[in-house]
Structure 1
């Protein structure tokens, strides 16, 4: 008894040849469907992984009363190698100021000041990590522009006032 196996178009064909010259053909068919799921999402890289906003030296007299702020200073994240992205949703996580959680608590010797963040078009960006701001562009290189300033939140004491925040970007 000789067996010959051939694979053609997903079917297994087994032919058995008997010594008397009679042939029996048996067809066996197994099939398996694969289901593939997923998506290709828009993406962008960043030209820099760290952006600094220099608030410079501010005289205490510029922060005369609670709620007064220094002038706004700006910096931007610039997207590179963007494919399919026309929007970005951005959140920021930093230590919130105990006097007003809408603002970042700076470290250093200064007291009575916090750091306020917003987008260049005026959307407030609190440090809670869960309140997104939205950016959109029609094409070209995206620039996610932010502004920061000191804001008075209590009795002032002069000194350094610096902070670091983590910005998370979801490209759409």
Structure 2
């Protein structure tokens, strides 16, 4: 996987409290920190000998792939845990929390987990349908995990079959 990132010329972007992120080459530890799931290793027989799955029944995640400040700071503040905290109060509490060097370091580490993975999803041939192209230009949008999930499922299906991709969410009332 590290080779794929290098081939796509994706950099690691270390978040800063102020200013632009500091870019550097990715190293193998950055990829290992992602704890990637490798379909080829886990289902080698199905993928290499049979050409993929006949059917996949799923329940895709419905989140967006981007940092969530409120979710991150929940672990550090009872005030943030309040359900109806307005944005002004949250930003004030966040600023206060970031005065603590340990929390600030954890926040920067958290933020730094996203740019190189987003860049991979936007440029990897494996996820070629994630970004819209209008008049020859890529249009930036949030990365929706359900779209990645569905595209990966489609990639895992055996080609040439009449296949149906089913989502559990379509059949279960939530």
- With the shorter chain as reference, the TM-score category is under 0.3
TM, length-normalised to structure 2: 0.22
More helix by share: 2
What's the TM-score, normalizing by structure 1?
Answer: 0.22
Larger Cα-atom Rg: 1
- Which structure has the higher relative contact order (CA within 8 Å, separation 6+)? 2
